Amino acid sequence: MLTFNNKQYAKNQSEFTNSCNGFYKKLKHGGVQIFNRNRDLVALLHPNKFCVNASIQNGRAWYMFGTDEKTSEFLGFGPNRKMSNEYSAFESMLEF
């Protein structure tokens, strides 16, 4: 189970509970992909302590340069707070 910004993400279906916000997948380079409950890719938690929007385009992961309002709200930051501007808080919000 991954906890990020007081929201839980399951590694797989057997770990998933009703309190989970979605799923996660650790990447080889150290990043973490975040998926919603429908397993749609929505964000990347980058190892350099920032977060960006993510989606699947033509069968591959596509990453943006920051987070939009919808992704910020999904991650628990509210409409006016972007994780990309919150570098110092990143480590304390990410727990495995």
- Per-domain residue ranges for the chain? 2-95
Q: What is the pLDDT of residue 96?
A: 56
Q: Amino acid identity of 51?
A: C
Cα–Cα distance, 20 to 36 (Å, whole number): 9
Strand partners, 44: 33, 52
Q: Could you give the percent of the chain with pLDDT greater than 70?
A: 80
What is the torsion angle, in degrees rounded to the nearest 10, for the CA atoms of residue 7, residue 10, residue 15 and residue 17?
40
Q: What is the pTM of this model?
A: 0.80
